[in-house]
Chain A
Amino acid sequence: MSAASRADGAGAVSAASRADGAGAGAVLETEGLTVRFGGVVAVDEVSLDCRSGDLTGLIGPNGAGKTTLIDAVTGFLPGNTAGRVRFRGRDLTRMAPHRVAWAGLTRTWQSLELFDDISVRSNLDVASRRLTPLGAVRDYLRGSADASSVDQVLELLGLADVADRQPRELSQGRRKLVGVGRALVAGAALVMLDEPAAGLDRAETVWLGDRLRSLVEAGYDMLLVDHDMSLVLRVCDRIHVLELGSLIATGTPAEIRDDPTVVAAYLGSHGSSR
């Protein structure tokens, strides 16, 4: 319990320090983002933002539309998406996924989706530079240039010792880091992490949270999607809450913890009566 309250305190402090810079520009903004599958509205008019220098959280119960929102923002649901996505002043609406990545918005997957039959280093290499047709030819003729950004990220995530192994040979926790690394190398300005804590135990989750925090300190902006309340409350600066496709709350961890609608959404009537 004491660990939790200490963590909460830390969250509150960092949130407070950010609150002064509320005017700091939003890296990512969605405006009335809506995703429809036939008659089902999976994401309903969601307008949210991620600010520069923040670890932003996006939480919500299962089926709230969190992953769908990431899919829509990163260009995987062009036929189902309405509304606008703005990223660092650029309009990403209905841009192809690889162009979204080129623009500096990358993501990880809950189901990892690693390139299982190439080495960890190659997993990162693939993402580390955009390849134009001319660039491909030049690279083919002259050989690959520097891999320093890849090495840096491998070092940062503690993956350097397994760089030449295949992802399938690693533990689940490290496989997740490979996914995170792949999202980081491309010169990403914002990384969207889809349930990175799923399948991790308590200790691993705490460890992961610290890693994410240190990445933010290192200058990466992040959107952490999870339904693990305690993780998100502990490490995030600002939190958006989705329920049934709609945004029901936005605020600092402290505000979110005390928000009655959020408590109701998460715990149902028992929660609100508690």
Chain B
Amino acid sequence: MGPYLQQILLSSGAGAIFAALAIGLVLTYRSSGLINFAHGAIATYVAYTYTSLQSSGDLPVPPLPNPLAPVEGVFGVEILDFPDFVDLGDGWNKWPALAGALAVAALLGLAFHFLVFRALRYQPPLTKVVASIGLMLALQSAVVIRFGGSRPPPIEPLLPPSVRSSTVDVLGTIVPWDRFVLLAVTLGLTAGLWALFRWTRFGLHTRAAAENERYATLMGISADRQAALSWMLAAVLAGFVGILVAPTTSLTPFNFTLFIVPALGAALLARFTSFWVAAVGAVGLAMAQNVLLYAEIDHGWFPDLNLDAVLPFAVIVVAMMARGQVLPPRGAVETGRLPQAFPSPWRPSLALTWVALAAAVVIWGPFDYRAGVTNSMIGAILALSLVVVTGYVGQISLAQLAFTGVAAAGLASFGADAGIPFPLAPLLAALAATAFGLLLALPALRVRGASLAIATLASALAIDELLFRGDGWFRIEGNPNRSFDDPSMFGVEFGPTSSFPINGDEIPTPAFGLFVLVVLVLACGAVIRLRQSRLGEQMLAVRANERAAAAAGVNVAGVKLAAFGIAAFLAGIAGALNGYKLGSIKIDSFSVLANLSILAFAYLGGISTVTGALYAGTLFASGIGVVLGEELIELGRYETYVAGVALIVTAVVNPQGIDGFDRQQRERVKRWLRRRRARRAARLTAASAAAGAQGPGP
């Protein structure tokens, strides 16, 4: 019992940060109706700002876009140079450093509200989720760019040494005193927030605005101002607790950013309404995690499945299954539209041109271009899977990349271990991914919108932890040599190392690129066909209005299941191709953050059209767009950051993504041409009329 009690009490550091994030999530949801996936990233950024100010007096400046970068890249000169840090003297004392970091937090909260989320107030949940994911990626990668990602920085604890070094004896267990302080601070902050909402004008106004924004506005309450204040408050809270617990909870950009998952679990338990339930839930979750972690180490019989990391997922799923649509609705109007799902007309000449171009690059292009195009084509198939599930049916899935992992591992099992031949093994692998996709669709039958995003995010985490790490089913970790043979059919090999008459000695050889191209064309055709079929029509109906679709005889659950299944199958195909490309499986490629950036890129390309998926493919990690970007502006380590910022801008300015922007411009040019032609015709007729009038004259 002793060690378990100790584990429970030791968890209060994690409990404090989970709780601070959870009550911050509740606060921003209640005041602005938005679930901020970037909340953990805000805590990360503020904590790093504190360490930087405290240790060297440097204030980090987020990477700013350099408009001259292409010019500089081409000519190899440096014209404009934004500082990485503003030097504010030597290392600060910890209290001024804390004040400075919290001021930064407040500014961040304010900026996010006014620059991003205010503009998205009336947008559908997808747009909001995407924007907050963009923010999360941007903040997280800003920290990585400025401070490096792997090692926790030295951090000066806020608590005085006397508190930290003294211990207490609880029922025979020695526990550091500071753990109780952390617990007390957490509960104190929660009580404060609760009291603020309960008894002050601010709280009353926020509650009124959440209940019915329109009436509250008519009563003279500015919902906007309430939301701005809440954003600042939430950011300061997260930052403060982040700094407080950083010495005892390893502070890395990844860890802290992902604390959002358990915090979301706790906030869901509280239905994004009660501060107390959220805080207590978060603390309890941290305790349970520590106990599970200890049990895995302590008992040989206890499976090493990272159950502690899976726990938030279990909590989220149980909360959702038990309560159905968990988020209380807000009295706000939703006027924004989802990106339009244009049908793709079949234009053979255009398609053939692109196919020929891709084939040409794959065959004759230089090495990195060849690899880039191949990666982009695989990425486009993955993006197509999101077009189906998110673009057509409006269900936010943050787990598509996890399905590619399942398929890659499946390919290893079916192809390499069981020796099943080529076309069958990857198809079976994709079907394995489909099975997981259908499993994931179950929460989608109960919840939608941002809740579903949370559920899928948690599932991605659970799949990652359960399947790929530790004793997980696929045992990839510590078993890196699971490799597979090149695919072949009728005696022709078309893997990355297969021979090819041209450029056959360089890996990946054109044979593989052409193979991927064929699969991509098939996948595009399949999705275009889907959009035109009855099932596709029903998908769009479900996206537009679930209730009305059901009343019109659409089996909403069935359509959702179909969409998740098809999407997971496509993701599985992409995963199998990726497996062939690498020749073995790497686990890092399926991590949760990577999952998030997949949705980000797909949205950026254009989430609801096949063309958009092709654009998205060029943007993916090591895709052709990145290869070109590297050439022109030395994108390199800024890739994720740029993607995050671009995603926010897209969500705010142009939810249609690149594809929609492109369509707009083409429409504009067409309209201009039409007008010009009409003008010219009018001039001509006027001239001829004038001539005619003159002709039969006197």
List residues of A whose CB falls within 8 A of some B CB. 74-76, 96-98, 100-102, 106-107, 109, 113-118, 122-123, 125-127, 129-131, 133, 135-136, 139-140, 143-144, 182-183, 186
Evaluate whether A122 and B551 lie within 8 angstroms (CB atoms) in the complex, with A117-B338, A140-B529, A140-B530 already known: no
B553 within 8 A of A: yes
User: How long is the Cα–Cα vector from A130 to B552 in the complex, in angstroms?
Assistant: 9
B174 within 8 A of A: no
User: How long is the Cα–Cα vector from A130 to B538 in the complex, in angstroms?
Assistant: 10
| Among candidates A107, A113, A133, residue contacting B558 with C-beta atoms closer than 8 Å | A133
| Among candidates B340, B532, B545, B555, residue contacting A114 with C-beta atoms closer than 8 Å | B545
Evaluate whether A113 and B548 lie within 8 angstroms (CB atoms) in the complex, with A136-B533, A139-B534 already known: yes
B680 within 8 A of A: no
A102 touches B533 (CB 8 A): no
Evaluate whether A115 and B545 lie within 8 angstroms (CB atoms) in the complex, with A131-B534, A140-B530 already known: yes
User: Which has the most chain A C-beta neighbours within 10 Å: B337, B550, B558?
Assistant: B550
User: How long is the Cα–Cα vector from A76 to B548 in the complex, in angstroms?
Assistant: 11
User: Which has the most chain B C-beta neighbours within 10 Å: A101, A135, A136?
Assistant: A136
Evaluate whether A140 and B533 lie within 8 angstroms (CB atoms) in the complex, with A117-B340, A118-B541 already known: yes
5 closest residue pairs by CB, A with B: A101-B553, A127-B552, A97-B550, A115-B544, A113-B548
Chain A residue at minimal CB-CB distance from B547: A113
List of B residues within 8 angstroms of A102 by Cβ: 553
| Among candidates A123, A139, A183, residue contacting B533 with C-beta atoms closer than 8 Å | A139
A136 touches B540 (CB 8 A): no
User: How long is the Cα–Cα vector from A144 to B530 in the complex, in angstroms?
Assistant: 11
B340 touches A98 (CB 8 A): no
List of A residues within 8 angstroms of B552 by Cβ: 98, 101, 106, 126-127, 182-183, 186
A144 touches B534 (CB 8 A): yes
Q: Which of B336-393 contact A (CB under 8 A)?
A: 337-338, 340-341
B562 touches A136 (CB 8 A): yes
User: Which has the most chain A C-beta neighbours within 10 Å: B530, B535, B552?
Assistant: B552
A115 touches B540 (CB 8 A): yes
A76 touches B547 (CB 8 A): yes
Consensus secondary structure, chain B interface: helix
List of A residues within 8 angstroms of B340 by Cβ: 117
9 contacts between A and B (CB under 8 A): A115-B544, A115-B545, A122-B537, A122-B540, A125-B537, A131-B555, A133-B558, A139-B534, A183-B551
List of A residues within 8 angstroms of B556 by Cβ: 98
List residues of B whose CB falls within 8 A of some A CB. 337-338, 340-341, 529-530, 532-535, 537-538, 540-541, 543-545, 547-556, 558, 562
Evaluate whether A131 and B544 lie within 8 angstroms (CB atoms) in the complex, with A102-B553, A126-B549, A140-B530 already known: no
User: How long is the Cα–Cα vector from A144 to B531 in the complex, in angstroms?
Assistant: 12
Chain A residue at minimal CB-CB distance from B550: A97
List of B residues within 8 angstroms of A143 by Cβ: 533
List of A residues within 8 angstroms of B562 by Cβ: 133, 136
User: Which has the most chain A C-beta neighbours within 10 Å: B530, B534, B538, B543?
Assistant: B534
Evaluate whether A144 and B554 lie within 8 angstroms (CB atoms) in the complex, with A118-B540, A131-B538 already known: no
A115 touches B550 (CB 8 A): no
Instruction: Return A146 CB to nearest CB of chain B, in Å.
Output: 12
User: How long is the Cα–Cα vector from A107 to B547 in the complex, in angstroms?
Assistant: 11
Evaluate whether A144 and B545 lie within 8 angstroms (CB atoms) in the complex, with A106-B551, A126-B552, A130-B553 already known: no
